[in-house]
Structure 1
Amino acid sequence: MTITSLLATPSELTDSSSSKSAIVLMTRIRLARNLAGKSFPGWAREPQRAEILEACREALMATAPMKRGASAAVSELTDLEKQMLVERHLISRELSGSAAGSGVVINKDQTVSVMINEEDHLRIQVLRAGFQLKKAWSVINALDSELEDRLDYAFSPQLGYLTACPTNLGTGLRASAMMHLPALVIAGQMEKVVRAVNQLGMVVRGLFGEGSDASGSIFQISNQTTLGESEEAIIKRLGSVLESIIEHELNARAKLMETDSAKLFDKIGRAYGILQNCHQLTSTEAMNLLSLLRLGIDLMVFPEDSRAIIDRLFIEAQPGHIQRTAKHDLESNQRDILRAERLRTEFATFAKPNFTINGQN
């Protein structure tokens, strides 16, 4: 399988059969690993980077989860393919712009992705739709163990797995969840939540990680500490924090419904109207409107079976995916027009809103 053919198929996050989780869109676990006796990618010369890339690709393609997957050097990918891989969270923005000797291996289901020669020799990640930390950990732990039998990892009895950045020392594990938190945003409570999460040793980022915006009221929450705790302890602690955030979001929704349902329904209704009638729409605008409709599904304004459509469009409304449908280069304003056309088509047959909920109207 090639990257081109892989991108032509749905991923776990774009497939209509994705998890129907109300608040947690996706869980991800990432492990940072390096090869013993080899310079970290930022210091390695091009011949050594190429040697490491080949060794890692060979080891990965021999593992059970990756045998029928796709593998490519970053230099072999087109700009559009790189952008789509970033939009599907299969590679980082840093890898997409990396130097020669970098690459990626992705399994056929697009649930396991391994970046080679990003900041570390290996960035192994497992993605799961919905709130599935334990399942993601089980998959990545098995793959990591299989790789460790094939590759000589850099490891210290005192410091654990050695990494290019000291903040990843120890387990090298980053567990995260992509959460949809529109009520906390509307109620102006996100800053308070971010401060509380930071005090618990977690970090909050935007849709595409560090330095990105929280388009569509979507935030990534992940652990900061990787040293001094076991992998299981990190995952358990993150799970507790996520459950607390879910509770705060649900409470914020209940309060908005109780005190200002008209304002909330107005936002949802306006979003629905724009998506049905828009003729030019940026990706940020699209994300924010889709976010309100997803909230409407949670509030039973729209039927539950509409959720998969919104979750798919969160990805397919991104610039790279819109560009791919055009089959030729587009300026940003042309993409905005094509995005609006695509969304008008999707929402022409979308369920009509029902604002009569629990006796409210």
Structure 2
Amino acid sequence: MPFRTRIMKRRPFTVISYVPLRMLIFQTKTRLCPLRKTGRTVMRDSQDLKSDATESWYTKDGPESDVVLSTKIRVARNLATFPFPDRLRPQDKDRVRSIVFNAFGHLEGCEDYQAVAVQNLDPLGLRILEERGSFPKIDNAESLGVILRGDGKISCVVNVIDHIRTSVYSSGLDVEETMHLSQKIDRGLQSMLQFAASYDFGYLTASVLDAGSGMRISVRMHLPSLSYQGKIKSVMESLNEDSVMLKASFGSGGVDNVSGTGNRGMSLGSFYDICNIDCSGGSEIDQMTSILASAKRLMELERQAREECKENLPTIVSNYLYRSISLARWSSLVPLREAVSIISGVKWGKDMNLLVGIDDAELHALLYRIQEGHLTFVQKNGEFHFKKDIQDDDVKKNERLRALILQESFENIKLNF
């Protein structure tokens, strides 16, 4: 299948368009397909089946997207008749993987899922899954499995810490709908599998913090205004009192050179995840209500701080915006960390109504499109001509492609002040 490209009129190079998930992840893909007569599930080559949806979940707009990028619910479960994965013999790990693959093959809508033994997944595909949050970083892929819906909205990892870890994603703040879909999958699996549980501790998991509901809810937020006001530490302490944790989404900030202030930020690009600290505090509804209340409180604090920054720090705000757009438009090479800060600056300006020409969904998608694994795939599957001084340097070629992606995405931006 040819790689999609688009030629820009004003610049003599080819710019990358979106790539379907099925192209990004699997060079040779398999799909779950139940055989009704025997009750068995087999793996078929996807070329024999209909193509799946090409748009990833994060390309869609969602509620409260000026502050909230996404919602994720991860549910951990273990089979009652097997020890936890770190105590399993290799042959038993293979059995668990087959059992889980078979169960997913009988869920409603199973034709939309793909499943693969992780040791058969090429390293680049695995890295892309890691960048999308669908698979954790691991040292040994033996006997592990991954199941993924075509749009990436639903994923399941097998034999990673627990036997089953399903994740459901939504754009924006959409905890209720995400939980509804997560519970639907969980009920479907429970109709076929017996999970380890007790009356005293709830669902049993490899980590004590996951025991109980086994459900961890996380909300990804953009909090540049609170960061600039130096309020993140106090916000973190307040959330901890409610058993909610705030952590950096893309690593610590380090010295921020894009904003022009040189400040050492707590999180790169001021992107943060909030999540429940443990899974034993109350029912699933109680935990959902707690996270939702915390997210809404943070949203209001950020919006209030945004207006204060716009009114009281106009020079700092406009400088960050100018520097972000200038670096994106005129740089030949853009490192990953710098790109995250650029996207943050543009989003901050957009949310202050200081610019037009780009929406929150596109900015959210950029955070995935600029990752190293995604760009390496683009590099290997597209036809690009790099200048001689970087054509043998994969890191620099990725930085060049990253610059082109930002330039294409920002070409319609216009300042609104």
- How far did 1:343 drift? 2.0
Gap change, CA 1:244 and 1:318, over 3 Å in 2: same
Q: What is the Cα-based RMSD across aligned positions, in Å?
A: 2.3
Residue 170 of structure 1 pairs with residue 233 of structure 2 = no
Counterpart residue number, 1:315: 368
Q: Which runs of 5+ in 2 are unaligned?
A: 1-21, 30-50, 255-265, 382-391
Quick check: which one's strand share is greater? Answer: 2
Instruction: Determine if contact 2:223/2:270 at 8 Å carries over to the other structure.
Output: yes
1:116-139: per-residue Cα shift (whole Å, max 9, x none)? 111100001110001000001101
Counterpart residue number, 1:112: 154
The equivalent position to 2:235 in structure 1, one of 174, 193, 200, is 193
Counterpart residue number, 2:167: 125
The equivalent position to 2:184 in structure 1, one of 117, 120, 142, is 142
Q: Distance in 2 between matches of 1:248 and 1:304?
A: 26
Residue aligned with 2:282, SS: coil
Q: Distance in 2 between matches of 1:332 and 1:214?
A: 23
Residue 77 of structure 1 pairs with residue 77 of structure 2 = no
| Letter in structure 2 aligned against 1:289 | I
Counterpart residue number, 1:12: 57
Quick check: 323-332 or 143-152, which moved more? 323-332
Counterpart residue number, 1:359: none
Quick check: 20-29 or 297-306, which moved more? 297-306
Q: Distance in 1 between matches of 2:356 and 2:190?
A: 46
Q: Distance in 2 between matches of 1:274 and 1:209?
A: 21
> Superposed, which structure 2 residues align to 1:144-293 within 5 Å?
144-207=186-249, 214-293=267-346
Q: TM-score, normalised by structure 1?
A: 0.91
| Letter in structure 1 aligned against 2:346 | L
Counterpart residue number, 1:44: 88
Q: Distance in 2 between matches of 1:80 and 1:286?
A: 21
Residue aligned with 1:48, SS: helix
Q: Which runs of 5+ in 1 are unaligned?
A: 356-361
| Letter in structure 1 aligned against 2:62 | S
Q: Distance in 2 between matches of 1:300 and 1:225?
A: 38
| Letter in structure 1 aligned against 2:120 | E
Moved over 6 A (4+): 5-8
Q: How many pairs align? A: 349
Residue aligned with 1:64, SS: coil
Rg larger for: 2
The equivalent position to 1:64 in structure 2, one of 105, 108, 112, is 108
| Letter in structure 2 aligned against 1:48 | D
Quick check: 331-340 or 116-125, which moved more? 331-340
Q: Name the % identity.
A: 27
Q: Distance in 1 between matches of 2:130 and 2:181?
A: 22
Counterpart residue number, 1:358: none
Gap change, CA 1:217 and 1:84, over 3 Å in 2: same
| Letter in structure 1 aligned against 2:57 | E
Residue aligned with 1:327, SS: helix
Counterpart residue number, 1:34: 78
Q: Distance in 2 between matches of 1:141 and 1:98?
A: 30
- How far did 1:59 drift? 0.4
Residue aligned with 1:116, SS: strand
- How far did 1:209 drift? 8.6
